[in-house]
Amino acid sequence: MPEPSRQAQLLSSSVFRRQACDKLGPECRLFRAPGRVNLIGEHTDYNQGLVMPVAINRYTYAGAVPARAGEIHLESREFEDIYTAKLEMLQPEKGWGNYLLGMAAGLQQRGYKLRGTRLYVQSEIPFGAGLSSSAALEISSGLAMLGIAQTWPHQGMDMVWAAHFAEHHFVGALTGIMDQFIATFGRKEHALMLDCRSLEWEPVPLPAECELVICNTGVRHALAASAYNQRRHECQLGVEHFQRRLPEVQSLRDVTWNDFLRWQTDLPDAVMRRCRHIISENRRVEEARRAFQQHDLSRLSELFSASHRSLRDDYEVSCPELDAMVEAAAQAPGFIAGRMTGGGFGGCTVNLVYRAQVSRFIASVSAAYRSQMNHIPEIWAVESADGGGELALVNDQELLIRAAT
């Protein structure tokens, strides 16, 4: 996601509704989709592996009204660029509009007949923090376009694949499907364990005494995009290596831990470590599911720590700021488990914290991080959330009147 011209602010949907009505008129309809935090299973999604994301109550909102037939018009509170395009001639542009233009193209590719739509969007999800502001933008705007077209997703996966199309063909990011999936299918009070190959998933209940706390390092290093594609390339080199020994291998998902131990010796060091992270991370996701189901918070702490070490040492996507934040959290009151989350090279950590000690945890982490890094971090206690849908406002309270799934 490109940097916005104005910083996103946390706001209620009633405030945004008034702003959207000022822009679009009183007939404006309101849609939203959540951001997400990934508890465990990092960089496994594009390796057809296992992930465990949670939708969070930080949203991107899309206001929509009908527009001139065959046209889509895009505006945002965060970005100055305005886009107008023909639905029958959608092409990639420069800037943030590609997320929405690509979503429109992806929906049409999947057989949905869109109508002229004017969209005004705003996000309360921090950009560049690894909380999937881009997928929330795609899903909220896609639902808005379908709502104006007087239709709705025939199945939730249509939204996921349309957003995936937008990322690959309009944005130019070779992402997996995790972010779009959780923005569509998220379930309150649960994480989702998703198999990114079979697309099978199951809800995993979150411990009632725990709260999710996200700590934003406030940095995003410039090498993130190029390093992401480099990691994908190195994983593919690993797949090709194992295929020469094990023809049935189609992705690193197919390589067992014993296979890895047997055939790793001929791999270049960097490729070996990338493979070791992916293969061990898939095992950690399965173990984390059992730990959540068994309410084994001690085991969750071990698994989160092991995941962060693997991301730091084997996948090499951490950075000093993320490591400092993880260390600060581990020493804070109420801490249960924590690690970096998202693509890396900056962004956020995710922490499980005892609910009764969240305030003390936040104060302790903020002070420790400021002392070490000379920066005051943004820290949010967040709740799990449902996936995207259309909203109505009743006495300024949000009511989800139609869910994406």
Q: Tell me which residues are annotated as active site.
A: 179
CB 14 within 8 A of CB 393: yes
Task: Quote the CA–CA distance of 73 and 66 in Å, as a whole number.
Answer: 10
- Asked whether 46 and 232 are in contact (CB, 8 A), the reply is yes
**How many angstroms separate the Cα of 29 from the Cα of each of 18, 46, 64, 141, 143?**
11, 35, 5, 11, 11
Whole-angstrom distance, CA of residue 189 vs CA of residue 166: 29
Name residues whose C-beta falls within 8 Å of residue 376's C-beta, 6 or more positions apart in sequence: 366, 369, 370
Under a CB-based contact definition with an 8 Å cutoff, are residues 61 and 88 in contact? no
Record the tokens describing residue 150, joined without a space.
């007087």
**Which three-class secondary structure state does DSSP give residue 197?**
coil
Q: Exposure string (b/e) for 94-130, b if CB count within 10 Å is 16 or more?
A: eebbbbbbbbbbbbbebebebbbbbbbbbbbbbbbbb
Q: Give the integer Cα–Cα distance in Å for 115 and 289.
A: 43
Q: β-pairing, 29-40 with 50-66?
A: antiparallel
Phi/psi at 34 (5° precision): -85, 160
Burial of 57-87, coded b for 16+ CB within 10 Å and e otherwise, reads bbbbbbbbbebeeeebbbbbbbbeeebebeb
Q: Which residues pair with 214 in a beta bridge?
A: 350, 380
Length of the chain as a residue count: 405
- Residues 157 and 318: their CA atoms lie apart, in Å, by 31
The secondary structure of residue 345, as a DSSP letter, is S
Q: List the one residue out of 393, 344, 367, 83 whose CA is nearest residue 224.
A: 344
Helix (H) or strand (E) holding 340: strand 335-341
Q: Distance (Å, rounded) from C-alpha 393 to C-alpha 285? A: 38
